Amino acid sequence: MKTAYLAPRDFLDELLGELGEQTRIQAVHGRLVVTTGPAVSAAWAQNVWFDPKELRFESVGGAARALRSIQRSWALHSVVLHRRARLIAEKLPKVGGRRLAFPASPPSSPIGSFTLLEPDLMLASANCSSPFPNGEVEFVEDREGPASRAYLKLWEALTLAGAHPKPGERCLDLGSSPGGWTWALQQLGAQVISVDKSPLADPIARLPGVSFLKRDAFTLTPGAVGPVDWLFSDVICYPQRLLELVTRWLDSGLCGKFVCTIKLQGKAPGVQDRHAIRSLGQIPGSTVRHLYHNKHELTWTLLAG
């Protein structure tokens, strides 16, 4: 059995480092890493192709028919032979292209993935981890309301989690300035306690349901804030500090749902950073993954209670 992992653009090294510790890498096609054996956990994979098969074909039409005979929807990840690969994709039902208007559920029908390896040989997997073509989640963007584009990664995290704050729920947004996440949470009707050492953009600070605390997120104790339904953090800090903050909140029992960005410094995280990231990922029920809208950072999500 094989598994293929698609690295996010610019983050192939991170994925290779992660996979190299756990499994045997057989081949690398552009950003697509093929390994032997079953899937392992890979935070840096934008999409995982489970049990991909090599399929020989005689013509463009034959390739499209072979894929259609397996299932309806296929996303092309083109690495080589782009024109020929596109011709095959054009003979298949169109996938993607429709932007998601948040909040909305991800597409429910399965999307397979394929790539050409040679003119008459493709690698194809009918079963992939992401419901979006190549793991690329595109939203109908709001270019006026939010103070930064950071809200897109929050929308993506909530879409993939299949949950979002409901009207009236109490949300703590740590490291909130200039206010993209606070805006997104307020739009959902949540009561937002927005915390940063820097101020919010004026229009966000004036929104109903938003209260701003000019504070250091790390000295704000759960006891002082009281129960919250969700804790969000986009604070720039070492992973270890985030782990301590999250642990404090988990131990307090005052919050059960978390979406936190794990900020990374250099290209290769040090031992302490790796340990903290692993510890976050080991918190039962949680996930650590690189979102399509993440930069050099990961997102830790826990939905409990």
Ligand X SMILES: C[S@@+](CC[C@H](N)C(=O)[O-])C[C@H]1O[C@@H](n2cnc3c(N)ncnc32)[C@H](O)[C@@H]1O
**Interacting residues toward ligand X by CB under 6 A:** 147-148, 150-151, 175-181, 195-198, 216-218, 234-237
> Residue 244 phi/psi, 5° resolution?
-65, -40
Checking DSSP bridges between strand 230-233 and strand 170-174, what pairing results, if any?
parallel
Distance of closest approach, residue 261 Cβ to ligand X, in angstroms = 7
Number of residues written out for the chain: 305
- Would you say 74 and 124 are in contact if contact means Cβ atoms under 8 Å apart? yes
Q: Residue 37 contacts by C-beta under 8 Å, 6 or more apart in sequence? A: 1, 2, 3, 23, 24
Checking DSSP bridges between strand 210-214 and strand 230-233, what pairing results, if any?
unpaired
Pinpoint the alpha helices (H) of the chain.
Answer: 12-20, 60-70, 82-90, 151-161, 180-187, 202-205, 222-225, 239-252, 271-281
Q: Tokens 């000295």 identify what position?
A: 219
| CB closer to ligand X out of 46 and 176 | 176
Q: Which amino acid is at 204?
A: I
- Would you say 111 and 127 are in contact if contact means Cβ atoms under 8 Å apart? no
Distance of closest approach, residue 203 Cβ to ligand X, in angstroms = 13
The C-alpha atoms of residue 28 and residue 123 are separated, in whole angstroms, by 12
- Would you say 114 and 78 are in contact if contact means Cβ atoms under 8 Å apart? no
| CB closer to ligand X out of 67 and 255 | 255
263 catalytic? Reply is: yes
| CB closer to ligand X out of 65 and 197 | 197
The C-alpha atoms of residue 8 and residue 225 are separated, in whole angstroms, by 37
Tell me which residue has its CB nearest to ligand X. Answer: 180
| CB closer to ligand X out of 47 and 186 | 186
| CB closer to ligand X out of 8 and 180 | 180
Distance of closest approach, residue 192 Cβ to ligand X, in angstroms = 11
CA dihedral 141→146→148→151, nearest 10 degrees, is: -60
Distance of closest approach, residue 27 Cβ to ligand X, in angstroms = 36
Q: Cα 146 to the chain's mean position, in Å? A: 20
Reference 292, options 156, 180, 109; nearest CA is 156
Distance of closest approach, residue 169 Cβ to ligand X, in angstroms = 18
Among residues 2, 214, 263, 267, the one annotated as catalytic is: 263
- Would you say 141 and 167 are in contact if contact means Cβ atoms under 8 Å apart? no
Distance of closest approach, residue 173 Cβ to ligand X, in angstroms = 7
| CB closer to ligand X out of 224 and 282 | 224
Residues acting as catalytic residues: 263
